[in-house]
Amino acid sequence: AKAAGAYLQPHPVNQQVSVLHRYPTKPWDWSTVIPDFEVPSSVAIREGVEWIDRPIYNRVFVSGTSQGVLGQVTREGTAGDLPAPMVADALITEAIAARQRGIAILGDTGKQAMITLRMPVLEASGVITPGKFVRYTDPAEEFFGIVRSTRIDVVYPETWQSIEIEAHL
């Protein structure tokens, strides 16, 4: 999964694992995504923000090692003049794997914020799992991003969740 720019997510009840794209929608297309959850600041009891400034890339070469394919992935609408370091992985044996890995690399660039919210597990939302899109609004600003991690804490009789959201600015 990692070789193709994805991750594994276990099912909460069944003995099943899903392979999910790191970016099911490219970050530069997030303005077209309808969020899975809307979280107002009044729900979160704690908020943390880590600002991240990654290099800006718009092209990457992804390759198999001893065999496989060589993929050139360029962000559409750009000149492809800012290449990321080349990535080689023995499991890149198909063009689609190279493309998905390239999207994951190009998606994780530029100015970002990792927003951590601690909030109750509400009946309306349930547990907000990684891979879901969230719009978080407070009176000063709004963040839109994808959940990267979820932590559950049970302090009887309450259940709390801490979610970390990757937002691109």
State the DSSP string of 46-115: EEEEEEEEPPP-SEEEEE-SSSS-EEEEE-TTS---SBPPPEE-TT--SHHHHHHHHHHHHHS-SEEEEE
Q: In terms of pTM, does the model score above 0.85?
A: yes
Q: What's the pLDDT score for residue 54?
A: 98
| 113-149 pLDDT, tens digit each | 999 999 999 999 999 999 999 999 988 899 999 999 9
Contacting residues for 2 by C-beta, under 8 A, at least 6 apart: none
Nearest partner of 45 among 158, 168, 169, 167, judged by Cα: 158
Between 12 and 8, residue with greater pLDDT: 8
